[in-house]
Amino acid sequence: MKTRISKLNIDFDFEAYWEIIYLILLAFFVGMRFLLSTMFTIYWPKYFYRTLTVIGVVLVLLHLMMAKDISKKEIAAMLVVTFVFMMSHYVSGYDFLVDLLILILGAYRVNFRNILKTYIAVWSVLLVVTIVGAMTGAAENLVYYQGESGERVRMALGICYPTDLAAYVVFLMFAYVCVRDEYITYLEIGVMAILAGAVYYITDARTDFIVMEMLVVVVLLAKKFKKQFEKLINKKWVKGVCVFLPIVMCLIAWSMTIVFNADNDVLTFIDRKVVSNRLWMGKQALNDYGISAFGKYVLEKGYGGSVELPDDYFFIDSSFISMGVKYGLFFLLVNIVMFSGEIYRFVVEKKILIIIVMSMIAIQSFMEHHYIQYWYNPFTIIIFASMSYAGRESLHTKKEEVMDLNRNIRDNALNKRKS
């Protein structure tokens, strides 16, 4: 949408400028939340967060008011998301839900690949700064000695907990694979495998290591057997499995948590040996806080931020359980629907590697709590973003158009000479 500033006689494309504005705003929000998850002591300017939030709200409102041709379905979806998120925010008291809403609505018509590139840039810079800070003493490097005899040595390298460091690397890989998509090389896949091993050696984060290795293997197979994967994704049952996977994983998480009983030997074995007490913690959360429409504040005491382990440890690891208990049933439903909606859009576009990444996030969210934390997971904000691959594909198209034009000019010149 073009707007004229008459006195200065300037024409500008508002939507093009909005993408730049949004990505800068996104970088500030992600950067701020990332730094809050580190061991740096930062003295933020007074009202910095509130000011950033107000600026974000104003800019997003201007963007949506000036955007052209918003459909009634899009308006209805935005209103539902806004109502649910704001109700959950006011009832539960979690401030970051406002940030999340700003970023979700602001991403309207912003190219999702540019969103992922912004995340990659912010993460890469801040991870390097944080690790260097931990090595030089500017930030504390938390080292945990866990296990019966302290045989598990886990380092956080400036992040508040080892698994959080691993989670940043996992989502960095997810975003990178989606940006590179079919252009990813075997060398890049190999580097990802080495990075996964290094992260496991440093953090001993087992779930994230398994997810990273699964990603490496499946991406390698998808590249090696591209045609077979393309045929597979065209089958209706495969499309259905991909689209409904978040819903299925959510139902499994809730079903197992609800029916969990410490007296059941099978469930107890699964809880202790497979999912590391996540069922017990989830059941404890349901008993203590229950399920409500728009959530409630949950007092969690995890291991992050200190090597002194709390005696009354309590933390909800599963994203599906965490969303339902802390932010409410409606919030959980809306986010699961948005998650499946995002996968559906990529299934329609037949973006195999992105579908693989989204499926792995659904599986990972059964065990990890980072799905709704936008500073870890960029895929939670892209429901209204533009899914087009205008960058490379349009460039390829333009090259072909230029070549065709040159051929036509040459042919016309030859015809004139002959005549």
Reading the chain (419 residues) residue by residue, the pLDDT tens digits are: 555 444 444 455 666 689 999 999 999 999 999 999 999 998 988 899 999 999 999 999 999 988 888 899 999 999 999 999 999 999 999 999 999 999 999 999 999 999 999 999 999 999 999 999 999 999 999 998 877 666 778 999 999 999 999 999 999 999 999 999 989 999 999 999 999 999 999 999 999 999 999 999 999 999 999 899 989 988 999 999 999 999 999 999 999 999 999 888 899 999 988 888 899 999 999 999 999 999 999 998 888 888 887 878 899 999 999 999 999 999 999 999 999 999 999 998 889 999 999 999 999 999 999 999 999 999 999 999 988 754 444 444 444 444 555 566 666 656 655 55
Q: What is the per-residue pLDDT for 15?
A: 66
Residue 401 falls within a domain, yes or no? no
Residue from 223, 228, 231 nearest 182 by CA = 223
Residue 70 falls within a domain, yes or no? yes
Q: What is the per-residue pLDDT for 10?
A: 45
The structure's pTM equals 0.87
- In which residue are the tokens 């299925």 written? 248
Q: What is the per-residue pLDDT for 5?
A: 44
Residue from 160, 50, 95, 171 nearest 326 by CA = 95
Residue 10 falls within a domain, yes or no? yes
| Separation between Cα atoms, residue 190 and residue 197, nearest integer Å | 11
Instruction: Specify whether the CB–CB gap between 173 and 218 falls below 8 A.
Output: no
Residue 407 falls within a domain, yes or no? no
Q: Residue 53: give the domain boundaries.
A: 2-396
Residue 417 falls within a domain, yes or no? no
Other beta carbons less than 10 A from residue 245's beta carbon: 20
Report the run of H or E that residue 299 belongs to, with start and end: none
Q: What is the per-residue pLDDT for 398?
A: 44
Residue from 413, 382, 390, 412 nearest 104 by CA = 382
Question: E strands, 102-242, where?
Answer: 143-146, 152-155
Instruction: Report DSSP letters for 2-63, one per residue.
Output: EEEETTTTEEEEHHHHHHHHHHHHHHHHHHHHHHHTBS----PPTTHHHHHHHHHHHHHHHH
- In which residue are the tokens 């949950």 written? 298
Residue 415 falls within a domain, yes or no? no
Residue 391 falls within a domain, yes or no? yes
Structurally, how many domains does the chain consist of? 1
Residue 413 falls within a domain, yes or no? no
Q: What is the per-residue pLDDT for 324?
A: 95
| Separation between Cα atoms, residue 419 and residue 417, nearest integer Å | 5
Q: What is the per-residue pLDDT for 146?
A: 76
Q: What is the per-residue pLDDT for 418?
A: 57
- Count the residues in the chain: 419
Helix (H, G, I), strand (E, B) or coil at 185: coil
